């Protein structure tokens, strides 16, 4: 695996040193050789009789094989969800429903270590992130929404909130367990039943969650988890007995889904791509800002919809900030996702690595200056050095399009008006960050930025009580908080 050396220290003392490896133990996680589909509370063979491999992107080794659900399987899952909805879940008192959701939350906590290992093995993210962010935040979403289940009339007073029925939920590969929790918890709390499809490259944590759900004694059919590729997702979207589609993924697929459900009764929330601007003013605490920018883009290999992938630095401090960024970049540890020292893990798939490489080439062709760190990369698996581009123009594709990798485009600005115009000038509008010493500037900026979330003097902070979602081509609808209940309800007067 990668050499672990602190280049910051190397620069200062002309000496290099390595951290001893501190890998989390694989043996603390049980992964079956093969997984079937979780339908109606039981593991069922796929009618397609087909299975596909899921691999560890850090070494390309096969972890398991999972069933490929076809249209008949999707139908089976929807029928199970409909029966559970009509016969059990909608009739159950909200207080009883809450108990199940609480139980799932506690079981996720109990199995936190195993879930974190599985998440890092299957998706390539550093164990520190899956352990300290993904899994606890997933548990917190179940806790939070369990609390709302019997208080919906307080969330929407005098509006008589009613569940919708069966929710079809399709999630991406960047936060597999957390996205499943974001989707399942509010759906159950509002009295709906679920058919969920995880992404093709990261199905294992959702299947572990299915085991937890089975163990929790949740009535059969309330949550069905089926694996497959894009075609399985498309079959969920077009199934006539689904009342709501909740999708997180690319803008491209979001548009296909919107077309597919146009003219039907289906409600939808689409959480799509982003190209967040992180803005550093000259009066910002620069060291903290640099740390925030690093966290904003290199967290989870840049596989984050709200990643701060565009940095706008005020011209007067640009040179200083770029120098600090490069120094800090050199000290990032790239390597084994299971190692507790690792800052940057593996790229999720070969396909995603190719996309990132394509953009690195485009950036160079567009005339931007590329800087990548000098760290050694493991020979097997999918890896990308943390990279930044300077001399980037606003119109460059690397400043406009979502790369979804550890690649930062650095641009400069002189005035507030200029940076607002530039920051808002993308098809996306999911998140943004502002770094300044002045409260008034923060308020002015947040008011004028077209982004669902604007972080001030911090970045990538999440909490189940806080709504999240985009403007423009970043989608519509909100997940999290009280707002996250609304897409799963009809409000009648």
List Cβ neighbours of 248 (8 Å cut-off, separation of 6 or more): 170, 171, 172, 179, 182, 183, 270, 271, 272, 305
φ, ψ for residue 140 (rounded to 5)? -65, -35
Question: Contact at 8 Å (CB) between 323 and 292?
Answer: no
Burial of 53 (0-12, 13-18, 19+ CB in 10 A): exposed
Name the nearest CA neighbour of 304 among 421, 118, 459: 459
- Check residue 201 for interaction with Mg ion (CB under 5 A): yes
Q: Which does residue 229 touch among Mg ion, ligand NAP, none (CB within 5 to 8 A, set by kind)?
A: ligand NAP
Find where tokens 């659900």 sit.
69
- Check residue 174 for interaction with Mg ion (CB under 5 A): no
Query: If you write DSSP's letter for every residue of 474-489 in order, what string do you get?
Result: GEES-BSTGGGGGGGE
CA 479, CA 466: separation in Å to the nearest integer? Answer: 8
Task: Name the one range near Mg ion by CB under 5 A: 114-122, 231-239, 331-339, 445-453.
Answer: 114-122
Nearer to ligand NAP, 51 or 102 (CB): 51
- Check residue 54 for interaction with Mg ion (CB under 5 A): yes
Nearer to ligand NAP, 161 or 484 (CB): 484
Q: Which does residue 39 touch among Mg ion, ligand NAP, none (CB within 5 to 8 A, set by kind)?
A: none
Two tokens at 198?
Answer: 């995880």
Binding site for ligand NAP (CB under 6 A): 170-174, 197, 199-200, 229-230, 233-234, 237, 248-250, 253, 256-257, 271-274, 305, 402, 404, 430, 470, 474-475
CA 421, CA 449: separation in Å to the nearest integer? Answer: 9
Q: How many chain residues are in contact with Mg ion, going by CB under 5 A?
A: 3
Among 122, 343, 402, 479, binds Mg ion (CB under 5 A): 122
Q: Which does residue 273 touch among ligand NAP, Mg ion, none (CB within 5 to 8 A, set by kind)?
A: ligand NAP
Q: Which does residue 168 touch among Mg ion, ligand NAP, none (CB within 5 to 8 A, set by kind)?
A: none
- Check residue 301 for interaction with Mg ion (CB under 5 A): no
Nearer to Mg ion, 205 or 390 (CB): 205
375 is catalytic: no
Q: Which does residue 44 touch among Mg ion, ligand NAP, none (CB within 5 to 8 A, set by kind)?
A: none
- Check residue 336 for interaction with Mg ion (CB under 5 A): no
Q: Rounded to the nearest whole angstrom, what is the least distance from the CB of residue 374 to ligand NAP in the complex?
A: 29
Which residue out of 24, 129, 200, 271 is catalytically annotated? 271
Q: What is the H or E stretch that residue 182 is in?
A: helix 176-189
Q: Rounded to the nearest whole angstrom, what is the least distance from the CB of residue 412 to ligand NAP in the complex?
A: 25
The alpha carbon of 404 is separated from its chain's Cα centroid by a whole number of angstroms, namely 11
Q: What x/- string results for residues 394 through 413 when contact with Mg ion is judged by CB under 5 A?
A: --------------------
Q: Rounded to the nearest whole angstrom, what is the least distance from the CB of residue 307 to ligand NAP in the complex?
A: 8
Name the nearest CA neighbour of 133 among 183, 194, 85, 176: 176
Question: Contact at 8 Å (CB) between 32 and 408?
Answer: no
305 is catalytic: yes
Question: Contact at 8 Å (CB) between 257 and 242?
Answer: no
Which residue out of 24, 305, 306, 479 is catalytically annotated? 305
In the complex, residue closest to ligand NAP by CB: 233
- Check residue 193 for interaction with Mg ion (CB under 5 A): no
- Check residue 169 for interaction with Mg ion (CB under 5 A): no
Q: What is the H or E stretch that residue 261 is in?
A: helix 251-261
Q: Rounded to the nearest whole angstrom, what is the least distance from the CB of residue 121 to ligand NAP in the complex?
A: 17
Nearer to ligand NAP, 170 or 317 (CB): 170
- Check residue 64 for interaction with Mg ion (CB under 5 A): no
Nearer to ligand NAP, 69 or 489 (CB): 69
> What long-range pairs does 100-104 form, CB within 8 A, spacing at least 24?
100/188, 100/216, 100/217, 100/218, 100/222, 101/142, 101/145, 101/146, 101/149, 101/185, 101/188, 101/189, 102/142, 102/143, 102/146, 103/216, 103/217, 104/142, 104/212, 104/213, 104/216, 104/218
List Cβ neighbours of 25 (8 Å cut-off, separation of 6 or more): 117
Nearer to ligand NAP, 193 or 474 (CB): 474
Nearer to ligand NAP, 40 or 174 (CB): 174
Question: Contact at 8 Å (CB) between 296 and 263?
Answer: no
Q: Which residues are part of the catalytic machinery?
A: 271, 305
Which residues of this protein are in contact with Mg ion, per CB under 5 A? 54, 122, 201
């Amino acid at each position: 695996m990668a050499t672990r050396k602190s280049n910051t220290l190397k620069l200062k003392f002309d000496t290099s040193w390595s951290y001893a490896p501190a890998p989390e133990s694989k043996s603390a996680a049980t992964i079956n050789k093969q997984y079937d589909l979780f339908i109606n509370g039981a593991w069922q063979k796929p009618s397609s009789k087909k299975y596909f491999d899921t691999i560890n992107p850090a070494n390309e080794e096969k972890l398991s094989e999972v069933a490929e659900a076809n249209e008949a399987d999707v139908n089976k899952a929807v029928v199970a969800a409909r029966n559970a909805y009509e016969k059990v879940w909608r009739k159950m008192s909200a207080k009883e429903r809450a108990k199940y959701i609480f139980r799932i939350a506690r079981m996720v906590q109990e199995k936190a270590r195993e879930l974190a290992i599985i998440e890092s093995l299957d998706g390539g993210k550093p164990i520190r992130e899956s352990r300290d962010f993904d899994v606890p935040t997933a548990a917190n979403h179940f806790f939070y929404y369990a609390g709302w289940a019997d208080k919906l009339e307080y969330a929407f007073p005098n509006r008589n909130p009613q569940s919708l029925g069966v929710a079809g939920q399709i999630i991406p590969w960047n936060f597999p367990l957390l996205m499943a929790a974001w989707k399942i918890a509010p759906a159950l709390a509002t009295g709906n039943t679920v058919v969920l499809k995880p992404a093709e490259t990261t199905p294992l944590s959702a299947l572990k969650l299915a085991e937890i759900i089975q163990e929790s004694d949740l009535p059969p059919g309330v949550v069905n988890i089926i694996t497959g590729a894009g075609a399985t997702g498309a079959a969920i979207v077009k199934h006539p007995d689904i009342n709501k589609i909740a999708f997180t993924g690319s803008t491209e697929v979001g548009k296909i889904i919107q077309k597919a459900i146009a003219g039907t009764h289906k409600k939808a929330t689409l959480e799509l791509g982003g190209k967040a601007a992180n803005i550093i003013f000259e009066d910002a605490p620069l060291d903290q800002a640099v740390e925030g920018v690093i966290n904003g883009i290199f967290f989870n290999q840049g596989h984050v919809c709200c990643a701060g992938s565009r940095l706008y630095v005020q011209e007067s401090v640009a040179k200083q900030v770029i120098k600090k960024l490069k120094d800090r970049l050199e000290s990032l540890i790239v390597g084994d996702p299971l190692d507790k020292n690792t800052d940057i893990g593996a790229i999720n798939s070969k396909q995603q690595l190719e996309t990132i490489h394509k953009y690195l080439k485009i950036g160079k062709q567009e005339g931007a200056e590329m800087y990548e760190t000098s760290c050694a990369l493991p020979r097997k698996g999918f890896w990308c050095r943390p990279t930044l581009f300077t001399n980037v123009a606003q119109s460059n594709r690397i400043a406009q399009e979502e790369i979804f990798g550890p690649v930062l485009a650095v641009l400069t600005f002189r005035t507030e008006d200029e940076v607002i115009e530039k920051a808002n000038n993308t098809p996306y509008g999911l998140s943004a960050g502002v770094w300044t010493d002045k409260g008034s500037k923060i308020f002015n900026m947040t008011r004028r930025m077209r982004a669902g979330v604007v972080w001030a003097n911090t970045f990538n902070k999440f909490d189940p009580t806080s709504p999240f979602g985009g403007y423009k081509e970043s989608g519509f609808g909100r997940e999290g908080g009280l707002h996250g209940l609304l897409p799963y309800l009809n409000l009648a007067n």
